[in-house]
Structure 1
Amino acid sequence: MNYLSAENIAKSFGDKWLFRNVTFGLSRGDKVALIGANGTGKTTFLNILAGLMPPEEGEVSLRKDIRLAYLDQSPTFDEALPVMEVIFASSNPLAQVVKRYERALLQGNDQELTAILGEMDTLRAWDFEAQAKEILGRLGIQDVDALFGTLSGGQRKRVALAKVLLEDPDLLILDEPTNHLDLDTVEWLENYLKSQNTTLLVVTHDRYFLDKVCNTVLELEGGSAYPYKGNYAYYLEKKAEREEAEAAEIDKARNLMRKELDWIRRQPKARGTKAKYRVDAFEDLKDKASQKKYDNQMELNVRATRLGSKIVELQSVGKRFGERELIHNFLYTFRKGDRIGVVGQNGMGKSTLLNMITGELRPDNGQVVRGDTVQFGYYKQSELEYRPEQRVIDLVKEVAEVVRLGTGQTVTVSQFLQTFLFPPAKQHDYVAKLSGGEKRRLQLLLMLMQEPNFLILDEPTNDLDISSLNVLEEFLANFPGCLMIVSHDRYFLDRLVDHLFVFEGEGRIRDFPGNYTDYREWQQAREAEQKQASSKAASTPREVPAPSSSEAAPKRKLSYKEQRELESLEKEIATLEQRKTQLLGQLNGGGTHEELTAWATEIEQLTATLEDKEMRWLELSEFA
């Protein structure tokens, strides 16, 4: 069943066509990922399909009985409404009938209540509020009475996402839904969308999400749309084949054009009309030959300042805000080549740790000691700062007039901007006119110009297209200094980090050896073991001790055997503690992936053994 059709649609921006003659259709069950470089018009394309913007050419038709829900990048609602009221301010029949029911209940309108009860039963709306709270909670919104106007940008996006999911539409259009979500929430959303029958069109750069959720990839490139029936891996394979074939056609056209040009020049002007068909064909050939090959990728090749042996030491640092402790006595010594991913739920203190490392925030206790040669490059989630009248090149020149590359060469700011896909015309645009992705790219350029040797990247993948992400990954994989990354992009983390700081809550930070996939596999295995142990404990009958009176029964004394056990436990606990301290030191010192995994496993086993022996020591010491 065809839900939506777009026939030969087109849209321009100034004198440039974003896309033209694009024909596209969505059928029931399709889950389509829309991808393309920044500035190709992905958001504009979604707005046209959603009916929020008319195409300049062509038409879009939506099946009459289809309900469509659209999540845009900057959702706006009445800021005076509480979160739950925002959810109910919807055209969703479920939300509307629940709202009418609650209003009739408050007014004591028995006649209205009787009429609504049947609708509530028919729509199965009794659980709607509970379902809304569950989805909001999954998305990290716990306070459903908070006013929408008091929420952060990320929280507003999550409320809007909950709203469109609860509308249970036939067709769901999502623009970058994974931005501002933590890793657990991204995985929940991924599983939710996989299990639903909703037809989906989504713009996202999350490659694991694309592979697991989507069955079609639609790429906007060069003003055209190219569909690929398959997941992201299939798209990469077929795109490479298409580009190779088109590049061969362009080369063939250029060779033929040289021959035709030579023929045109040799012909007497008076005989031009005799071969008019050939002259016309030459013009068509010239258009084909003048096409550019696929060179629209930025290059990252910048110099990094030399890094000394002393980098950064976190000496039992702690931080709390009010009664809430975010970081409890965390210690770590950074070493050359450290590549650390920082993961955990939103609001647990990830950005707080980064700000303490760079010196933007002081710890409440402990100390951060930084080496003299450390030059931080801190890529933040905050918006790029600029003045309204500033143009791109003026903003960059405030940092430097020339840039030193990793090869030792020096280039002008204008040349460097071109490597980041800012051609001369774009360099003189006002910064305010840039797209979200272009501003993020400019922010990255400004940071790298300062030749950092310790990169701290807080959600660097937001708003970057997949092509730019691939180039950034290649640069970071070869970066000689230290690297810390906060990201919800699992592919990005897996490729670049070799151990994690995992924020577990209540101030605890686990230093885990391995990438994100390693951690999730370890976490799932641990959860399975705990579940198995709980089931075993529940199935084993427990002995209930007989009640006793302290006056009637004298205090029991240890037997000779128990006394010896108590003395032995004290020595064993001391030995285990010493071994655990030794292993923690080895982990901080670094090692191969196999060594780090083995040490972490042994630490887990030692911790469990210590807990058992300490419990036994406490039992015996009561009677000593």
Structure 2
Amino acid sequence: MAAPVLALQDARITFGGGDLFNGISLGIEPGMRIALVGRNGSGKSTLLKAIAGDIELDGGDRFLQAGTRVGYLKQQPDIVPGRTVAEQVQQGLSPDLTADGMETGYLVDQVLEGVGIDGSRLLETLSGGEARRVSLAEALVSDPDVLLLDEPTNHLDIKTILWLEEELKGFRGALMVISHDRQFLKNLTNRLFWLDRGKLRTHGKGFSAFDEWSEEILRGEEVELKKLDKKIAEETDWSRKGITARRARNEGRIRALHRLRAERQERTSRVGNAKLEVASGSKSGKVVIEAKDISKTFTDEDGNEKTVIKNFSSRIMRGDRVGIIGANGAGKTTLLNMFMQKLAPDTGFVKLGTNLTEAVFDQQRESLDPEESLWDTLADPGSGQLLVKGEVRHVVAYLRDFLFDEKQAKSPVKSLSGGEKNRLLLAKLLARESNLLVLDEPTNDLDMETLDLLQDMLASYDGTLLVISHDRDFLDQLVSSVIVIDPGGDIEEYVGGYSDYVRQRTHLEIPKAKKGLPEKTVASKPKQARKRLSYKDQRDLDRLPDVIGALEEQIKSMEKALGDPDLFTKQPDQFNKISKELVVAQEKLALSEERWLELEILQEEMTG
């Protein structure tokens, strides 16, 4: 085992009158590629600052081997007015690199090309996301022995994230990274540091092992849970639910998502035989968005034209889950605005279906009043209640669902962090009745627990979903197809999630959704098919809606019972009994929904 080049011994940081963490010891050795994980507010960023030497410890010691260079990417970059991007990045060059201007200029230009920023721009002209990319370039160009990265993928598009992954795979030093991007962590890390309730746990494998490892630890703690006081019990139970939810959702819900993808792939070959007038008339609401040969070109201040969308056609049906991806500035939001008829196309047309009730998440959070409290943002000020999908909820209980503390209920929106504002906006949107949910970059600034929460909610959403995101795992978990916008306006639609798109793009034998609406083709002679369902299938199709409804009511009742904080502390056996029954009911529901969907598709095929 190599000697650590950087270490903390019995480290303590005090915050707000108490210890954020205490007694933490760790060592970073050459070759370590560490994922630092933990729920929001656990102190990950503070710990990273302490490791970087950016803040002083309140107790304990920090050791740095002589000659070791440390590179540190902060969440919030420093802006020096009047300084160019290139000048800022040059600050990161280490003193022992060659002083030759051409050589250092080449290094700076190379890394700026990777992050996609013009070196001649002034720092004060950059957006928040662009300034973050400059800080990333400054950290990378320093060629440190230890590189510490705090949320490096925030506000980066997928192309830049992939570039960063390749850069870091070739990085020779030790790496420690905080990120909500699971795929990024899986691809890069070989160690785990888990900061949980003030303790640091370590594991000799990378992030891919986190779910199984953490769940094993928390299962062991359940025995001790009964001995803890109510507050600690609630915190530990919350943490356990946040982690096990990831594994639970990967059963029935992911199977259902694969069925949706298969159905969409099949429909892309049949859609040319359908008539829009019939679908939006006799089958009201089945077609959500019809786009035909749409294009959009913008003219900049110098009179140069830039085509962002070129001759694209698509039909989005009820229940589809469509992801939109592309580089920053490629035209993703433009396409979304044309889909929603907020922006007129230069050519072609967009037609919205009937009976649409929209809920839109804007990445600028313009629908939030910074002076208004969380309570007033969500609920009637007098009663403190709101209607959530037909059910009356108290605002504090609903805020807890979105990981807010009850003490925050009366705080103004402006006091929240970026991630918390995103959570509040999602809470506001998801409380509304809607059948079309439009999300523009919903995952920015969200931690993993909030991403889990969002994925679970969206996985059970029964309407149509349009989402722009650079989070590959998020897309893989949720969408039935992706629309990919390339520079110059070329646009293609692929069945499946992000990983499916990558496989199809590299010409593996996976069917690709055709661009636009397919033309009618001469069909091959079909196999002889049954003209109607068998007696057993028809019986199942008739009875399953009632079975599903009963299971949903049963699950809702059990979830309500488990939501009572007194149940766990006063009747732990009853709590465990209901928890086990809930898992069984959820599995039955997933299987019943799967069988019903299979029969619905089969009957539709038989009736033409």
Alpha-carbon shift at residue 96 of structure 1 (Å): 7.8
Correspondent of 1:82 among 75, 84, 94:
84
- Sort the Cα spacing of 1:16 and 1:395 in 2 relative to 1 into closer, same or farther, 3 A: farther
Moved more, 73-82 or 200-209: 73-82
Cross-structure match for 2:213 = 238
Does residue 414 in structure 1 map to residue 396 in structure 2?
Answer: yes
Give the Cα–Cα distance (whole angstroms) in 2 for the partners of residues 449 and 460 of structure 1: 16
Is residue 37–residue 465 contact of structure 1 (8 Å, CA) maintained in 2? yes
What's 1:295 paired with? 238
Question: Could you tell me which residue of structure 2 aligns to residue 208 of structure 1?
Answer: 183
Determine the structure 2 residue equivalent to 1:404.
387
1:481-496 to 2 correspondences below 5 Å: 481-496=463-478
* Equivalent residue letter for 1:431: V
Q: 1:232 and 1:250, CA in 2 relative to 1: closer, same or farther beyond 3 A?
A: same
Q: Measure how far apart 1:242 and its partner are.
A: 0.6
Which stretch shows the higher mean deviation, 187-196 or 291-300?
291-300
Distance 2:232 2:36 in 1: 28
AA at the equivalent of 1:139: V
AA at the equivalent of 2:427: L
Q: How far off its partner does 1:160 sit?
A: 1.3
The one-letter amino acid paired with 1:163 is E
- Distance in 1 (alpha carbons) for counterparts of 2:141 and 2:522: 46
Kindly provide the amino acid, as one letter, of the partner of residue 332 in structure 1.
S
Alignment match, 1:153: 128
Structure 1 partner of 2:73: 71
Partner residue of 1:581? 519
Matching of residues 209-608 of structure 1 within 5 Å: 209-251=184-226, 253=227, 292-296=235-239, 308-322=285-299, 323-383=305-365, 386=368, 389-397=371-379, 402-406=385-389, 408-525=390-507, 581-582=519-520
Cα 1:324–1:420 shift into 2, 3 Å: same
Output the CA distance in 1 between the equivalents of 2:197 and 2:191. 19
Offset, 1:500 = 1.3
- Structure 1 residues 176 and 583: CA distance shift in structure 2, 3 A: farther
1:66 match: secondary structure: coil
Contact kept? 2:325, 2:482, Cα under 8 Å: yes
TM-score after normalising by structure 2: 0.71
Shift of 1:386: 4.8
Q: Give the 3-state SS of the residue equivalent to 1:525 in structure 2.
A: coil
Q: Report if aligned partners of 2:435, 2:462 keep a CA contact under 8 Å in 1.
A: yes
- Name whichever of 130-139 and 322-331 sits farther off: 130-139
Quickly say closer, same or farther: Cα 1:137–1:411, change in 2 above 3 A: same
Percent identical pairs in the alignment equals 34
Deviation at 1:375?
A: 2.2
Tell me the CA shift for residue 34 of structure 1: 1.0
Q: CA RMSD in A?
A: 3.2
Residues 384, 170 of structure 1: CA spacing in aligned structure 2 closer, same or farther, 3 A cutoff? farther
CA distance 1:218–1:409, shift in 2 (3 Å): same
Q: Once the two structures are superposed, what CA deviation does each residue of 1:557-607 show, in whole Å capped at 9, x if it has no partner?
A: xxxxxxxxxxxxxxxxxxxx999622699xxxxxx99xxxxxxxxxxxxxx
Could you say which residue in structure 2 is the equivalent of 1:136?
Answer: 112
Sort the Cα spacing of 1:17 and 1:356 in 2 relative to 1 into closer, same or farther, 3 A: farther
Inter-CA distance 163–405: structure 2 relative to 1 (3 Å threshold): same
SS at match of 1:211: helix
Query: Cα offset for 1:385?
Result: 5.9
Shift of 1:61: 2.4
> Offset at 1:325?
0.9
Distance 1:514 1:95, change over 3 A: same
Deviation at 1:16, TM superposition (A): 4.6
User: Could you tell me how far 1:288 is from its partner in structure 2?
Assistant: 11
Q: Which residue of 2 aligns with 1:195?
A: 170
Q: Specify whether residues 350 and 95 from structure 1 end up closer, same or farther in structure 2 by C-alpha distance, changes over 3 A only.
A: farther
Q: State whether residues 85 and 120 of structure 2, in contact with CA within 8 Å, keep that contact through their aligned partners in structure 1.
A: yes
Partner-residue secondary structure (3-state), 1:11:
strand
Q: Distance in 1 between matches of 2:348 and 2:504?
A: 31
CA distance in 1, matches of 2:521, 2:119: 45
Q: Distance in 1 between matches of 2:45 and 2:409?
A: 23
Work out the CA distance in 1 between the residues paired with 2:143 and 2:15.
34
Tell me how far 1:388 sits from its aligned partner: 5.2
8 Å Cα contact 1:358-1:376 kept in structure 2? no
Q: CA deviation at 1:73?
A: 1.3
Instruction: Give the C-alpha shift of residue 235 in structure 1.
Output: 1.9
Q: How far apart in 2 are the matches of 1:579 and 1:468?
A: 37
Aligned equivalent of 2:42: 40
Offset, 1:427: 1.6
Which among 27, 30, 33 is matched to residue 32 of structure 2? 30
* Distance in 2 between residues matched to 1:394 and 1:15, nearest whole Å: 30
> How does the TM-score come out when normalised to structure 1?
0.70
Measure the CA separation in 2 of the matches of 1:437 and 1:231.
25
CA distance in 2, matches of 1:579, 1:46: 51
Query: Alpha-carbon deviation of 1:195?
Result: 1.9
Partner of 2:141: 166
* Contact 2:48 2:148 survives alignment (8 Å): yes
Gaps of 5+ in 2: 247-283, 300-304, 510-514, 524-596, 599-608
Q: 1:289 to 1:418 in 2, by over 3 A?
A: closer
Q: Which amino acid aligns with 2:68?
A: I
Distance of 2:105 and 2:163 partners within structure 1: 20
- 8 Å CA contact 2:386–2:395 kept in 1: the answer is yes
Q: Quote the offset at 1:186 in angstroms.
A: 1.2
Partner letter of residue 581 of structure 1? E
Aligned to 2:593: none
Secondary structure of the 1:311 match is strand
Shift of 1:390: 3.3
